[in-house]
Structure 1
Amino acid sequence: MKRLLALLLLAPLAAVASASVQIAIKSPRPGATLHRQRPSEMVVQTPNNDTTAAREVSLVLSVVPCPESACPNAGDGLGTVLYAGPFRPVAPAAAPGAPAGPPEQAFQVDVPASFPVGPAELLATHFVLTGDNLSPLLQIAGEVVFVV
């Protein structure tokens, strides 16, 4: 009975810990145009990342064509990988007296010439360890852009 009570009390804490870490694509914005073979800046941020409770592991930036009216499920494949490696977000410098913004990192990515023209989904796939027990957490953020 004590174990059940302990689990019931700890479950909300685990939910809060995993909800406190999230990933977001700051730029480009949804609906933006990306040019093949031309560098584009992609900024990824962790708006609610409590860095004391999270250990960054890696990030994959990719793009998936959306040949029909709907983009495929990101869980079915990440498409064309534009970046795979470490993720080390830092808070941007703030104006004096203003709060710092959420931690972020900018990446220069190139959509290859072979990528189809049309709507596509940019994906940021984030792997992080959270909490005192370093529980693994995988997150995917996406937004639809247009590739020309």
Structure 2
Amino acid sequence: MKSFFSLALFALSALAQNAHIGVPVEGQTVTAGEELIVQVQRPNSLSPSVEVGVVIGFTSCASTPCRSAEDILGTILYNGPFKPVYHETSLPPYENFTVTVPASAAKGNGQINVAHAALIGAGPQAFLESLNQTVVVV
């Protein structure tokens, strides 16, 4: 029973580390060749953690189904540190990144992909997750 409890606690602490894409929202219209703000949110957790960084990419999926960010990040728009902080009391800590949608992006569905890396726990242990948000390129 102890091992089950330990496993459940570990799973919950890992889930608490999850980041989210706050902006752009699902289905938001973006323009090829123009700047776009990508907001990566990272709620606080009870376990200690150190942010390593994020990678933000863009893939066009106008003529094919969008693939998971775990499979492909696409054109890299940002690769670097991630330092989320509180800005409003109604939102979790976040950081905004201003990126440029590739000018070559096909009109139609596209996808913002994010790879988030952190170190969690007292060990610490490596944590990596992939996120995506579908947008519409005009």
Look up the match of 1:46: 42
**More strand per residue: 1 or 2?**
2
User: What percentage of aligned pairs have identical amino acids?
Assistant: 31
Q: TM-score, normalised by structure 2?
A: 0.89
Counterpart residue identity of residue 82, structure 1: L
- Cα distance in 2 for partners of 1:92, 1:68 equals 38
2:118 is the alignment partner of 1:124: no
Number of aligned residues: 138
- Flag structure 1 segments of 5+ consecutive residues without an equivalent: 95-99
Give the residue type in structure 2 aligned to 1:144: T
Q: SS in structure 2 opposite 1:142?
A: strand
CA offset digits 1:17-61 (Å, max 9, x no partner): 1011111111111111111221111111013x3275211001011
Bigger proportion of residues as helix: 1
Task: Write the distance in 1 (CA, Å) between the matches of 2:46 and 2:99.
Answer: 26
TM-score after normalising by structure 1: 0.84
Name the amino acid aligned to 1:112: P
Match of 1:97 in 2: none
1:93-139, CA deviations, whole angstroms, 9 ceiling, x for partnerless residues?
44xxxxx5310001111012122222011112100111111111111
**1:51 and 1:105, CA in 2 relative to 1: closer, same or farther beyond 3 A?**
farther
Q: Which runs of 4+ in 1 moved over 6 A?
A: none
Which one of 88, 101, 105 corresponds to residue 111 of structure 1? 101
Tell me which residue corresponds to 2:31.
35
Residues of 1 paired with 2:102 and 2:5: CA distance?
A: 50
Is residue 71 of structure 1 aligned with residue 27 of structure 2?
A: no
Whether contact under 8 Å (2:66, 2:110) holds in the other structure is yes
User: C-alpha separation between the residues in 2 aligned to 1:51 and 1:80?
Assistant: 34
**Structure 2: 5+ residue stretches without partners:** none
- The structure with more radius of gyration: 1
CA RMSD after TM alignment: 1.8
